[in-house]
Structure 1
Amino acid sequence: MKKYKFSLILLAMFVVLTACGGNDSAQSGSSETGKDSNFPSKPVELIVPYAAGGGTDTVARSFADMAKNDLGQSIAVVNMEGGGGAVGMQNGAKAKADGYKVSMVTVELLTLPHSGLAQFSHTDFKPIALLNEDSGAITVKADAPWNTLEEFIAATKEKKLKVGNSGTGAIWHLAAAAFEKETGAQFNHIPFEGAAPAVTALLGGHVDAVSVSPAEVVTQVQAGELKVLGVMAEERVESLPDVPTLKESGIDLSIGTWRGLAVPKDTPDDVVKILEESFGKTAQSDEFKEQIKKMNLGYRYENGEGFTKLLEEQDQLFANLIPSLKLN
């Protein structure tokens, strides 16, 4: 009888200990591998590598406010400016790979390393979603003698035309340089402190063309002051439906600026999947599309796979283009 009672006591102790261990696991929300099975179980940070109030920051804050419902957690935007985006993206690449720190990455993720201004690479991230894209566009004054890209290119071969951009080494300078390389056109590149001053110079007749985005000239186009000869996009842009893409003119070039979301490369696949599904739902919502339109930006969504393909293609483009410009 004593032996039987002792066995019952041991069995009871075993059940209690097992139950306690089970509670520990449930409370921690972790599997044996240490992954968070309840992700996300706390707020997520969204690193923006530029100052508060800018275009990228505004997109990030609008998206974060909408995405919290699909994600099930609040999303806090954290601005880490400096180095033309390098500081914030470097922090994002080196963050703990658990999904709780997401980075807003821009085309500078590709251009800065090839310009020798950053040590990271797009391979330091796992892409989650592309949120927007604004292509370059060849824009001239409404009364300019060229009405097609072919006429414009032919004119540059007779005399170098002055093309304004948003700064040496910035994306619209690179867009114009890529156009030159692809078509044989010849430009005198005129840098300005941003796209707006370049457009003002074009209106004043100080340059012959600009290579900035459609969003930055559409108001003047609608007012009859400027005309766009071609856009450097995969498809025609919604705001300028009658303007052909370069590819329609036989020029194999698509280049511009974009914004997307990414996490450190070692983030677990199950966490990446949750982020991709929830962020994808928000990015494809009518509410977010309408917000992008209100901001006069171009909308383009790609999931992680599509975003990765874009990064690989454009990284190769900039790897070939930027060293040839001898910017350093």
Structure 2
Amino acid sequence: MRRLLVFVSLVLATLLLAAYPDKPITFIIQAAPGGASDMVSRTITAIAQEILKVPINCTNITGAAGAIAMKRLQTSKPDGYTMGYVPVELSMVKALGYADFGPEDFDLLMRIMVIPAALTVRADSPWKTAQEFIEYVKTRPGTVTVGNSGPGSIWHIAALSLEKATGIKLVHVPFDGAAPAVAALLGGHITAVTVSPTEVKAGVESGQLRILAVMSDERTPLFPDVPTMKELGYDVSIAAWGGLALPKGVDPEVYKILADAFKKAYDSETFQKFLLDRGMTPAYLDGQKFKEFAVAQYNMFMELIPKALGK
């Protein structure tokens, strides 16, 4: 009797797997609509759902540098019908005290891209260069506001790193994602942002915003005339990255189906053009290599963040 039950269970599991996926997949995005995480997620899922032949429904859950959304993902049923975008903050939130998880608490599917921070101001501001901005802030410590995508987010760490490298003191203003921070800058409610070139691209192209410098080792292809902070003599290089993840414990066959589908979506001409047009560097890593990378980042941030935040 026991053997029969085991056999029946195996048959049912095989039948269920053969049908996967047979209903919509929920995709959790940890930031507000309009930012880099949101745009990347919606673009790649739109392609992947055509491959998987089921809808992939994106939902935005903001707060705590992405920890709320990632906690929802971590605690979801590992049946392949819930997945999500995980940013660099996956490796940061435990050091920030926002969550009790890290990269090893998920089944990581793949890394997609990396993107640097960009110091950006309004085009009608008096600063034409990063050096002019730095000298101005030095004479007015603690009065110039800079927006970020949430306390402890990578763009907050970027601004803190800028302070440390240049000796300036800024007033940090958090938002639920980069898009609201950029909107506040456009509205004149804050003085600057340290978000990605992607997230300020529209404002720069419309003549409303000006990028003063990027915090990367090399200039961004999106704005090749903009210098790096290192070119200006400041040793600061901060970049975000993003990838896809599942709750831990997904069936290996289901994992493979999703990994194959999203790799095809990643490799598509549409998605590659999307990344490059927005200044994101395509940076694919498979699940295992992504895990190794994210764990290394986790170890780095566990040491860096307490020092950066004075904990």
Bin for the TM-score computed over the shorter chain: 0.7 to 0.9
Provide the C-alpha distance between the structure 2 equivalents of 1:139 and 1:28, rounded to a whole number of angstroms: 53
Counterpart check, 1:126 vs 2:107: yes
Provide the C-alpha distance between the structure 2 equivalents of 1:59 and 1:170, rounded to a whole number of angstroms: 18
Change (3 A) 1:75 1:308: farther
Counterpart check, 1:46 vs 2:26: yes
Name which of 11, 25, 29 aligns with 2:14. Answer: 29
CA contact (8 A) 1:280 1:303 kept: no
Q: How many residues align?
A: 295
Equivalent positions of 1:232-251 (< 5 A) are: 232-233=215-216, 235-246=218-229, 251=235
Counterpart check, 1:81 vs 2:67: no
Provide the C-alpha distance between the structure 2 equivalents of 1:77 and 1:145, rounded to a whole number of angstroms: 42
Higher RCO (CA-CA < 8 Å; seq separation 6+) = 2
- Give the letter aligned to residue 182 of structure 2: A
Gapped regions of structure 2 (runs ≥ 5)? 1-5
Name which of 274, 284, 298 aligns with 1:302. Answer: 284
Equivalent positions of 1:267-286 (< 5 A) are: 267=250, 269=252, 271-286=254-269
Provide the C-alpha distance between the structure 2 equivalents of 1:121 and 1:288, rounded to a whole number of angstroms: 28
TM-score, normalised by the number of residues in structure 1: 0.70
Provide the C-alpha distance between the structure 2 equivalents of 1:186 and 1:51, rounded to a whole number of angstroms: 28
Partner of 1:162: 144
Aligned-residue sequence identity (percent) comes to 29
- Give the letter aligned to residue 246 of structure 2: V
CA contact (8 A) 1:102 1:263 kept: yes
The secondary structure found in structure 1 opposite 2:61 is: coil
Pick the structure with greater CA Rg: 1
Shift in Å, 1:51: 7.9
Shift in Å, 1:164: 1.1
Partner of 1:17: none
Change (3 A) 1:57 1:146: closer
CA contact (8 A) 2:216 2:236 kept: no
Equivalent positions of 1:80-159 (< 5 A) are: 81=61, 83-84=63-64, 85-140=66-121, 144=126, 147=129
Name which of 185, 201, 221 aligns with 2:167. Answer: 185
The secondary structure found in structure 1 opposite 2:69 is: helix
Change (3 A) 1:293 1:320: same
CA RMSD in angstroms, aligned pairs only: 4.0
Change (3 A) 1:281 1:185: farther
Shift in Å, 1:125: 1.3
CA contact (8 A) 1:48 1:81 kept: yes
Gapped regions of structure 1 (runs ≥ 5)? 1-20, 31-35
